[in-house]
Copies of this chain bind each other. A is one copy, B any other.
Amino acid sequence: MRHFVSTVDWTRSELQGILDSAHRLRSAPVSRALEGKTIALLFLNPSLRTRTSFETGIFQMGGHAVVLEPGKGAWGIEFKEGAVMDGEEEEHIAEVARVLSRYTDLIGLRAFPLFQDWEVDREDRVLSALTRYAEVPVVNMETIVHPCQELAFMRTIQDHLGAPDGRKLLVTWTWHPRPLNTAVANSGILMGTRFGMQVTLLIPDEAYHLDPYYLETAKRQAKESGGDFSVTTDLEEGYRDADWVYAKSWGALPLYGRPDEEARLREPFRHFIVDEEKMSLTRGAHFSHCLPLRRNVKATDGVMDSPACVAVDEAENRLHVQKALMLELMGGGS
């Protein structure tokens, strides 16, 4: 049994196998490959694409998704070991994981950071607790990385560029009214460097560096894959000659848990929006984003509605890659 919690646990060849399977599934979407199988999707945070694509995907292969929202329709969950549970939570992840493992064949989890203490959040404790107790495969539906999105991202790059090796990928920070999760940015540099791309991370200020674990892993992976990884605060350097622009906003880690201070630091950087002028610096780059995206805040209408924007294709690929992933994890073959 194998979990899918981060792409770093999977080889490039294994990941490519899932991407190839996803491509095949596009031309034969409906089957009975997972007949009678069920998956439980635990959402601690909102979702549109993830939920719809998993629910549709398993249905198209003969299975069924049960969508659970702990703390709303389902009981609140305690994730700490040894907790004396006299607070709000009614149930421990140990029981949730074990019970769902009896009812279903795979458990997906979305658990965003709590944005109080990065030293805590960076340990991804909710997901770790779930994998500790689950007796069926666990899929990360976004915690502090977003590996399903990574698969869709790379599937889309390959759809449009063919082999990704040596192509320049810009992962650019953008402004947003709130300090968001670093997950998609972490995942962007992980997947780009894994597949031999020349990855540039563009940030508005040194305070927006990602966690050292991801920076170092990106460097190591770039070395292994023949790619490259660099960081810049220079907009022109970032966009110049890019083949792919991937945008995301996130909060500055040194001010984690202090949203008012972070907002003041962020305020001068509204011009990091992806617009047509910046895109014109690229080598005719495609633009993608994991969605949801705030129009005219992260990217202009002009970019979003241009042929360069493939964010919707990428979202569609969530469906195909997750179907391939479910087949891989639930033993249905493809």
A binding-site residues for B, Cβ under 8 Å: 29-30, 35-36, 38, 40, 43, 46-49, 51-53, 55-56, 59-60, 64, 66-70, 72-75, 78, 82-87, 89-92, 94-96, 98-100, 102-104, 177, 291-297, 301, 304-305, 311-312, 315-316, 319
Other than the given A38-B56, A91-B292, A98-B315, 13 more pairs (CB < 8 A) read A46-B74, A47-B74, A51-B66, A59-B64, A82-B301, A84-B297, A86-B297, A91-B291, A94-B305, A95-B312, A99-B312, A99-B315, A102-B315
Given contact pairs A85-B297, A296-B84, A316 touches B103 in the complex (Cβ within 8 A): yes
Number of copies: 3
What residues on B are CB-neighbors of A86 within 8 Å? 177, 294, 297
Contact A292 B90 (CB under 8 A): yes
Given contact pairs A95-B292, A95-B293, A103 touches B52 in the complex (Cβ within 8 A): yes
Contact A30 B36 (CB under 8 A): yes
Contact A68 B95 (CB under 8 A): no
What residues on B are CB-neighbors of A319 within 8 Å? 102-103
Distance, CA A315 to CA B49, complexed state (A): 31
Contact A295 B78 (CB under 8 A): yes
Q: Chain B nearest CB: distance from A315 CB in Å?
A: 4
What residues on B are CB-neighbors of A53 within 8 Å? 103
Most chain B CB inside 10 Å of its own CB: which residue of A30, A43, A49: A49
